[in-house]
Amino acid sequence: MKSLSIQSPGRRLVVPALVLAAAAAALTGCVVAPAHPVAPVGEVVYAPMAPPPMQAEVITVAPSPAHIWIAGSWGWSSGRYAWRPGYWAVPPRPGYAWRPHAWEHGPRGWYHRPGGWYHR
């Protein structure tokens, strides 16, 4: 003899919802902060001469208390320096700060050290 089981439509929806909620709760602990500063990736940029002096910028009011000012900097492209204006940004997660862009002198000329986020 065959046994019959009767399930209500509501119960069929509750079990998958509980499984989904449990999986979401378990995966929230899987976010890992990077071991190194978060910075743009690319090849090293060299320039034959020092960059011009920094330009004065008008810093507007922050869009929110979470935003920080990323100062403008000189970039090297097509054989000349070009100014990249500053902007407001939100750190990728709490406890992170911005390391500014910089030009440093080395044996091959001036090279650009890009700015990036780092954990304080």
pLDDT at 73 over 90: yes
Q: Which residues pair with 96 in a beta bridge?
A: 119
Which has more pLDDT, 11 or 111? 111
72-75, long-range: CB < 8 A, 24+ apart: 73/100, 73/101, 73/102, 73/115, 74/103, 75/45, 75/112
Task: Note whether 38 and 93 are within 8 A (CB).
Answer: no
Distance CA 76, CA 91 (A): 26
pLDDT at 113 over 50: yes
- Residue 22: pLDDT band by 50, 70, 90 thresholds? low
Q: What is the mean pLDDT of residues 21-47?
A: 53
Which has more pLDDT, 2 or 62? 62
Distance CA 120, CA 108 (A): 31
Q: What is the mean pLDDT of residues 47-71?
A: 96
